[in-house]
Amino acid sequence: MISSNVKKKMEEKGITIREMVEKTGLADVTILRSRRDQIVKCRLETLESIANCLGCRVKDLFEEK
């Protein structure tokens, strides 16, 4: 199972969903999906955009349990 750390990273940085949408150009639905506990399907480009916005590496956005 792959778990998402996006919500935690956003909270650590104090970044809202609205700010993520503005900075990444991704749809709010995409950001909301990336914050779910489990990642079912996600494009690498999407993870890269989120990681760049949060100032972290793509591999910091998820962990395998």
Please report the domains of the chain, with CATH numbers, ordered by start residue: 2-54 (1.10.260)
- CA 32/CA 17 separation, integer angstroms: 8
C-alpha to C-alpha distances, 24 to 1, 8, 49, 65, nearest whole angstrom: 26, 18, 6, 28
pLDDT of residue 6 exceeding 90: yes
What pLDDT score was predicted for residue 39?
75
- CA 47/CA 60 separation, integer angstroms: 10
For residue range 13-49, what is the model confidence (pLDDT) as tens digits? 999 999 999 999 999 999 999 998 877 788 999 999 9
Q: How many Å from the N-terminal Cα to the C-terminal Cα in the chain?
A: 5
Q: What is the pTM of this model?
A: 0.87
Q: How confident is the model at residue 5 (pLDDT cuts 50, 70, 90)?
A: very high
